[in-house]
Amino acid sequence: MSPTVLDLSEVTFRRAGNQILHGIDLTVREGEHWALLGPNGAGKSTVLSFCGAQVHPTSGTVDVLGRRLGRVDVQELRRDIGHVNPRHPLQSALTVRQVVLTGITGTIELPMRWTATPTQEQRADELIAEVGLSHRRDARWPNLSQGERGRALIARALLAEPRLLLLDEPTTGLDVAAREQLLSVLDRLAHTAPEVASVLVTHHLEELPTTTTHALLLAHGRVVTAGPVGEAVTTEMITQTFEHPIEVDRDGGRWRARALPPARLHSA
């Protein structure tokens, strides 16, 4: 059995007196690619914040890469976690290459008086090529499309050689072509970095990479179901999670969802 990368056990979370999560269990192993699915407000981003050692639970335990939150230096732990957030708060006009190199420093901006080694620069260029941005290596951040930014952030996350990759709605704001380019990059990761585990947050089935192995469905801060993606992402489970009759099918490894008339739901 592959080593455990993430282990959340009976996790609850309260904020300002409100119960956000209720007894969440999640185990992610090396090489697995999980999707966190659910409607807005279900608690997906909160769960992801535990995975990224950004937030501590109110109760329960969270072990990330074999280290328990509350007993570990989270700054050190976060260096082993790659985080792709399409709302990356960069303000400077860094080039694609410079943005990717901040994956080494774990910062948003390039630190003053810090210089990458030739080996680090070479690896950055290799990752830029892997995400299809070699021709844009010297382009400035403000001049990149949202899709190009997303691919640059994936390269940035991978430069630090993380064991865990977290993707928070990575296709937000992308048109169809840019979405497909980014999903192709994620699918390739399963082959170029087979030991890396990933957790992707979305509420659109069409945004799941074909290499997704498992899914956790959340509603009202509770787990509806969790397990292999083919068993978790079904018409019955998606309908229950989103509280609306939704028919689910799969074609060529990609998922599709459409409204299901109530009469068909009852006969399914």
Q: What is the pLDDT of residues 47-99, one digit of tens each?
A: 999 999 999 999 999 999 999 998 888 888 888 899 898 888 998 999 999 99
Give dist(CA 191, CA 33) in Å, integer: 12
Instruction: Give me the DSSP letters along 10-31.
Output: EEEEEETTEEEEEEEEEEEETT
Please state the rounded mean pLDDT for residues 29-53. Answer: 94
Q: Output the six-digit token pair for 62.
A: 């969270």
Give dist(CA 97, CA 126) in Å, integer: 10
Residue 264 has pLDDT above 80, yes or no: no
Predicted pLDDT of residue 252: 86
The angle formed by the CA atoms of residues 186, 127 and 48, to the nearest 5 degrees, is: 45
pLDDT, the chain, mean:
91
Predicted pLDDT of residue 247: 94
Bridge partners of residue 61, in order along the sequence: 9
Predicted pLDDT of residue 234: 96
Asked if residues 63 and 77 have their Cβ atoms less than 8 Å apart, the reply is no
Q: What is the CA radius of gyration of the chain?
A: 19
Predicted pLDDT of residue 209: 94
Asked if residues 218 and 242 have their Cβ atoms less than 8 Å apart, the reply is no
Please state the rounded mean pLDDT for residues 8-28. Answer: 94
Assign 105 a pLDDT band (cuts: 50, 70, 90).
confident
Higher pLDDT, 260 or 262: 260
Predicted pLDDT of residue 262: 61
Please state the rounded mean pLDDT for residues 164-184. Answer: 90
Assign 173 a pLDDT band (cuts: 50, 70, 90).
confident
Predicted pLDDT of residue 51: 94
Predicted pLDDT of residue 48: 94
> CATH says 4-44+53-200+214-223 is which class?
alpha beta
Asked if residues 33 and 197 have their Cβ atoms less than 8 Å apart, the reply is yes
Phi-psi region of 26 (alpha: psi -120 to 50; beta: other; left: phi over 0): beta
Q: Please state which of the ranges 11-20, 196-205, 232-241, 258-267 shows the lowest mean pLDDT.
A: 258-267
Asked if residues 229 and 250 have their Cβ atoms less than 8 Å apart, the reply is no
- For the chain, the domains span 4-44+53-200+214-223
Residue 240 has pLDDT above 70, yes or no: yes
Give dist(CA 255, CA 242) in Å, integer: 16
Please state the rounded mean pLDDT for residues 182-186. Answer: 90
Q: What is the pLDDT of residues 194-238, one digit of tens each?
A: 999 999 999 889 999 999 999 999 999 999 999 999 999 999 999
Give dist(CA 19, CA 83) in Å, integer: 26
